[in-house]
């Protein structure tokens, strides 16, 4: 029994590593693509709404259907899973970044212009800085979603904790199903906690008081 539990523990950690690897690649790709697009389109309402609408439509595609679509295009394994998860990761990051940058008090932007700051400086030093907590909230939400959806990647041979859950379903092994479910939940909560701490560390540097004090100087 001890050997079985020990072996199972090793398998679980291996599957968790696979799971986080797939989810991390998809999330990083989502950040790299969605963040610049949102920054560029934040001040262009129609284009920003169009981009958000496209991502919303993609988000409504059922997970299994999207994974099935990826297989004829990219085969089976990690690549199609990462691409599908990347698509799902876009909406929270894009939407929160646009909303965050639009929520900045116009008087702060006017003050920055009065100081002679360029449009690029205003976007980076004022809008992005103040919108950072909202942007991080979108990244946190996307991270939790992606970790959850990565479970389904097992259907196309990508691995991860989904292997344990679906193996448990196939063999009516309830403890294995519970173990897999708890593993995914633990990963999602841990990542959300870590990103939440990062968000809090970044927030004091981007307080409106600090920017306001800068503009008054």
130-175: pLDDT as tens digits: 888 889 999 999 999 999 999 998 888 888 999 999 988 888 888 8
Q: What is the DSSP string of 33-58?
A: HHHHHHHHHTT-HHHHHHHHHHHHHH
User: Is a pLDDT exceeding 60 seen at residue 98?
Assistant: yes
Which run of H or of E encompasses 101? helix 78-102
| pLDDT of res. 96 | 92
User: Is a pLDDT exceeding 80 seen at residue 120?
Assistant: no
pLDDT tens per residue, range 185-205: 999 999 999 998 888 887 645
Residues whose CB falls within 8 Å of the CB of residue 76, separated by 6 or more in sequence, listed in order: 156, 157, 158
CA-to-CA distance for 59 and 139, rounded, in angstroms?
A: 15
What's the chain's average pLDDT? 84
How much is the average pLDDT of 80-92? 94
Q: Topology of domain 11-211, per CATH?
A: MetI-like fold (1.10.3720)
| pLDDT of res. 5 | 53
Domain ranges in the chain are: 11-211
Q: Is 2 helix (H, G, I), strand (E, B) or coil?
A: helix
Residues whose CB falls within 8 Å of the CB of residue 154, separated by 6 or more in sequence, listed in order: 160, 161, 162, 163, 165, 166
DSSP 207: -
């Amino acid at each position: 029994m001890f050997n079985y539990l020990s072996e199972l523990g090793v398998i679980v950690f291996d599957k968790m590593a696979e799971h986080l690897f797939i989810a991390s690649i998809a999330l990083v790709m989502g950040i790299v693509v969605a963040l610049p697009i949102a920054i560029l389109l934040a001040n262009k309402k129609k284009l920003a709404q169009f981009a958000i609408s496209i991502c919303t439509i993609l988000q409504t595609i059922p997970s299994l259907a999207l994974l099935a679509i990826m297989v004829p295009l990219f085969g089976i394994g990690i690549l199609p899973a990462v691409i599908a998860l990347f698509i799902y990761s876009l909406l929270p990051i894009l939407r929160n970044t646009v909303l965050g940058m639009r929520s900045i008090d116009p008087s702060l932007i006017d003050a920055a212009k009065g100081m002679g700051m360029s449009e690029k400086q205003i976007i980076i030093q004022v809008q992005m800085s103040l919108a950072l907590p909202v942007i991080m909230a979108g990244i946190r939400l996307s991270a939790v979603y992606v970790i959850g959806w990565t479970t389904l990647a097992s259907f196309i041979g990508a691995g991860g904790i989904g292997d344990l859950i679906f193996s448990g379903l196939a063999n009516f092994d309830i403890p294995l199903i519970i173990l897999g479910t708890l593993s995914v939940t633990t990963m999602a909560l841990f990542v959300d906690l870590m990103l939440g701490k990062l968000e809090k560390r970044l927030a004091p540097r981007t307080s409106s008081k600090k920017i306001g004090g800068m503009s008054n100087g």
